[in-house]
Amino acid sequence: MNIYQFQVKSTDLKDVSLKNYQGKVLLIVNTATKCGFTPQYDGLEALYKKYKNQGFEVLDFPCNQFMHQAPGTNEELKSFCELNFGTTFQTFAKVDVNGKDADPLFVYLREQKPKDYVEGKPSLLSKLKSSDQISWNFTKFLIDRHGNVIERFAPNFNPKYIEPFIEKVL
């Protein structure tokens, strides 16, 4: 099994098959527009611009589960990112990443990489966690060209430090 079996919703709630991204390197991120990590959109966009011509995509999934930091409609969230951070990568409909209503894609991602990594080693919070739950917005999952989950980066892991990981799988 890999991520290509999953369907997600676009901001206008149409089904999108992740098969559309087959053969690409992906960075799947649960995001929020009112989060302390929201400025990471700049770093995510920089990665996207630098590597998109080599088959790299950023897939943005707003999540309102953490202190309601992704308020508004799907379209409002997408517009906010485009206007304030100049994002050009794909934004999808809001999802839950934990709990009984968690999107199946994120359940799968968590199962494949249950622990966050910070600076190349397990984070202290991740070591203390007894579950695969996502701890906050801006958890990032790196997917190789075959749909395999390669790494899971903690919310505070700066996108610029993901670059060597991306280069390895491009």
Residues labelled as active-site residues:
35
Determine how many CB atoms are found less than 10 A away from the CB of residue 81. Answer: 22
- Residue 153: both structure tokens together: 């980066």
Structure tokens at 19: 């098969």
Q: Do the Cβ atoms of 145 and 23 come closer than 8 Å? A: yes
User: Closest Cα to residue 25, out of 139, 157, 154, 169?
Assistant: 169
What does the DSSP 8-state code read for residue 140? E
Q: Do residues 113 and 82 make contact, with C-beta atoms less than 8 angstroms apart?
A: no
Give the number of other CB atoms < 10 A from CB of residue 1.
Answer: 10
In terms of Cα–Cα distance, which of 70, 50, 47 is closest to 58?
Answer: 47
Locate tokens 């770093």: which residue?
Answer: 43
